[in-house]
């Protein structure tokens, strides 16, 4: 049976390949879409294996987004190209999945938001962490009130990026500003729990371990939320072989705490009578199944006219927080975060 939706991919790297799933995964997740086209550089298309021989291939973005058999455009191109590619896809009337970060400036976010609203299309920022089983369970426990009232929330993304720079040199050639391309993961996680961020104070430093990266790549971000709660983000990329989870989420509440894949809840007898709960861990660090989950979610949003988990406004608020962090880092003071989009 022919799939309900055709997907066209711009930038066929590791994350994009996760959208090409076998029949078993498609059946397990009830997927109703399939990849039908790929757009990338001539060099990238030249080395594609035989398993991708049936896909339409092009180096021209305009050709891909104009195809009638493509309903969803999935954008996995370098960060600085996201805005251009999102605008072309939306203008062509396609729903869009854009890998994080949505863009690298609030001004570009505004262009995308305006076009999404004008066209009446669905837009999802591919924040894989929201589709990690352990984080999903922690958020579920929080929403159910099992952790009580929030006292503090923290998210971390700690990753020695030297090998990533080697594999994707555009990151230091463009360069990729890691307050967006990296810190967007943990910033989105704390927003997921506590909502809009009111104010941030950010410190940044240059690890520069690769010898080529010109800007700050290590960040500590303190924040206050609109609801009065406080939190913190640790985003470190210019570091060496950290023996800790790459991605982490901690929710500290009045009835218990959740950290990564473990929750400890108070019992009737107080803090001496606790219950420890282990949640399901993500199957693979490569985010492959997280991509499948957000594709499943996006299909449901299109079919049933629902708001995507991380839509264009959520994506813009993360970028706005990043811009405020960058300004705070430069002036050495707290900075208010824009949330009106």
Rounded distance between C-alpha atoms, residue 130 and residue 125, angstroms = 11
Question: Between 269 and 132, where is the model more confident?
Answer: 132
Q: Are residues 144 and 214 in the same domain?
A: yes
Q: Are residues 188 and 234 in the same domain?
A: yes
pLDDT at residue 55 in the model: 94
Provide the edge-to-edge strand list for the sheet that holds 247-253. Answer: 270-278, 262-267, 256-259, 247-253, 150-158, 230-236, 218-225, 197-205, 335-336
CATH number at residue 23: 3.40.50.720
What's the rounded mean pLDDT across residues 58-87?
97
Among the ranges given (62-71, 165-174, 206-215, 228-237), the one the predictor scored with the smallest mean pLDDT: 206-215
Is 179 a residue whose pLDDT tops 70?
yes
Most confident stretch, 18-22, 212-216, 305-309:
305-309
pLDDT at residue 321 in the model: 98
Among the ranges given (4-8, 117-121, 262-266), the one the predictor scored with the smallest mean pLDDT: 262-266
Is 22 a residue whose pLDDT tops 80?
yes
What's the rounded mean pLDDT across residues 131-151?
95
Is 161 a residue whose pLDDT tops 50?
yes
Provide the edge-to-edge strand list for the sheet that holds 33-39. Answer: 56-58, 33-39, 5-10, 72-75, 95-99, 123-126
Q: Are residues 24 and 122 in the same domain?
A: yes
Rounded distance between C-alpha atoms, residue 275 and residue 5, angstroms = 45
Whether the CB-CB separation of 154 and 160 falls below 8 Å is answered with no
Asked, for residue 32, whether it belongs to a domain, the answer is yes
Asked, for residue 253, whether it belongs to a domain, the answer is yes
What's the rounded mean pLDDT across residues 85-99?
98
pLDDT at residue 302 in the model: 98
- Give the contacts of 296 (CB within 8 A, at least 6 positions apart): 29, 30, 31
Q: Is 131 helix (H, G, I), strand (E, B) or coil?
A: helix
Whether the CB-CB separation of 314 and 188 falls below 8 Å is answered with yes
In sequence order, the β-bridge partners of residue 9 are 38, 74
Q: Are residues 33 and 156 in the same domain?
A: no
Q: Are residues 277 and 307 in the same domain?
A: no
Report field, pTM of the whole predicted structure over 0.85 = yes
Q: How many domains does the chain have?
A: 2
- Give the contacts of 312 (CB within 8 A, at least 6 positions apart): 102, 109, 112, 113, 116, 123, 125
Q: How far is CA 322 from CA 105, 177, 340, in A?
A: 9, 10, 15
Rounded distance between C-alpha atoms, residue 297 and residue 19, angstroms = 13
Q: Are residues 122 and 147 in the same domain?
A: no
Asked, for residue 211, whether it belongs to a domain, the answer is yes
In sequence order, the β-bridge partners of residue 233 are 155, 221
- Go through the chain and tell me how many residues it has: 341
Q: How far is CA 62 from CA 48, 59, 181, 231, in A?
A: 21, 9, 25, 42
Q: Are residues 298 and 233 in the same domain?
A: no
What's the rounded mean pLDDT across residues 200-205?
97
Residue-averaged pLDDT of the chain:
93
Q: Please, what is the end-to-end C-alpha distance for the chain in angstroms?
A: 41
In sequence order, the β-bridge partners of residue 111 are none
Q: Is 243 helix (H, G, I), strand (E, B) or coil?
A: coil
What's the rounded mean pLDDT across residues 13-25?
90
pLDDT at residue 171 in the model: 85
Asked, for residue 48, whether it belongs to a domain, the answer is yes
Q: Which two tokens stand for residue 158?
A: 């700690």
Rounded distance between C-alpha atoms, residue 105 and residue 14, angstroms = 25
pLDDT at residue 284 in the model: 44
Asked, for residue 16, whether it belongs to a domain, the answer is yes
In sequence order, the β-bridge partners of residue 10 are 39, 75
What's the rounded mean pLDDT across residues 16-30?
92
Q: Are residues 188 and 330 in the same domain?
A: yes
Is 35 a residue whose pLDDT tops 50?
yes
Q: Which two tokens stand for residue 126?
A: 């591919």
Q: Are residues 162 and 123 in the same domain?
A: no
Rounded distance between C-alpha atoms, residue 15 and residue 22, angstroms = 15
Most confident stretch, 15-24, 204-213, 228-237, 283-292:
228-237
Q: Are residues 295 and 151 in the same domain?
A: no
Is 163 a residue whose pLDDT tops 90?
no
Asked, for residue 341, whether it belongs to a domain, the answer is no
Rounded distance between C-alpha atoms, residue 183 and residue 185, angstroms = 5
Q: Which helix (H) or strand (E) holds 34?
A: strand 33-39
Q: Are residues 102 and 217 in the same domain?
A: no
Among the ranges given (175-179, 224-228, 231-235, 247-251), the one the predictor scored with the smallest mean pLDDT: 175-179
| Chain-centre distance for alpha carbon 30 | 22
CB-count burial class (<10 Å; 0-12, 13-18, 19+) for 340: exposed
Whether the CB-CB separation of 204 and 216 falls below 8 Å is answered with yes
Report pLDDT digits (tens) over 272-308. Answer: 778 888 877 655 445 789 999 999 999 999 999 999 9
What's the rounded mean pLDDT across residues 193-219?
91
Residue range of the domain that includes 11: 5-127+289-311
Q: Are residues 195 and 330 in the same domain?
A: yes
Of the candidates 254, 209, 182, 222, the residue with the CA atom closest to the CA atom of residue 332: 222
Whether the CB-CB separation of 228 and 197 falls below 8 Å is answered with no
CATH number at residue 268: 3.30.360.10
């Amino acid at each position: 049976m022919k799939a309900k939706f055709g997907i066209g991919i711009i930038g066929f790297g590791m994350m994009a390949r996760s959208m090409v799933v076998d029949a078993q995964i498609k059946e397990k997740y009830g997927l109703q879409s399939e990849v039908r086209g790929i757009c990338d550089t001539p060099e990238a298309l030249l080395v594609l294996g035989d398993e991708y021989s049936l896909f339409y291939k092009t180096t021209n973005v305009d050709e891909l987004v104009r195809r009638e058999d493509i309903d969803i455009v999935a954008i996995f191109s370098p960060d600085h190209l996201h805005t251009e590619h999102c605008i072309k896809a939306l203008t062509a009337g396609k729903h869009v999945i854009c890998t994080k970060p949505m863009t690298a400036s609030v001004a570009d976010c505004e262009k995308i938001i305006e076009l999404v609203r004008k066209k009446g299309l669905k837009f999802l920022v591919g924040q894989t962490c929201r589709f990690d089983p352990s984080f999903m369970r922690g958020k579920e426990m929080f929403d159910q009130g099992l952790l009580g009232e929030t006292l503090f929330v923290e998210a971390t993304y700690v990753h020695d990026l030297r090998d990533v720079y080697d594999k994707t040199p555009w990151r230091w050639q463009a360069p990729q500003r890691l307050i967006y391309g990296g810190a967007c993961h943990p910033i989105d996680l704390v927003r997921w729990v506590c909502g809009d961020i009111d104010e941030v104070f950010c410190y940044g430093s240059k690890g520069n371990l690769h010898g080529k990266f010109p800007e700050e790549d290590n960040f500590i971000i303190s924040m206050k939320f609109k609801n009065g709660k406080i939190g913190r983000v640790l985003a470190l990329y210019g570091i060496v072989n950290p023996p800790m989870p790459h991605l982490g989420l901690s929710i500290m509440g009045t009835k218990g705490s959740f950290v990564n894949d473990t929750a400890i809840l108070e019992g009737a007898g107080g803090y001496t009578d606790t219950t420890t709960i282990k949640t399901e861990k993500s199957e693979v660090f490569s985010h492959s199944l997280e991509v499948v989950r957000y594709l499943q979610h996006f299909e449901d949003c299109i079919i049933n006219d629902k708001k995507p988990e991380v839509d264009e406004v959520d994506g813009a608020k993360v970028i706005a927080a990043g811009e405020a962090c960058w300004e705070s880092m430069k002036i050495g003071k707290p900075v208010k975060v824009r949330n009106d989009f």
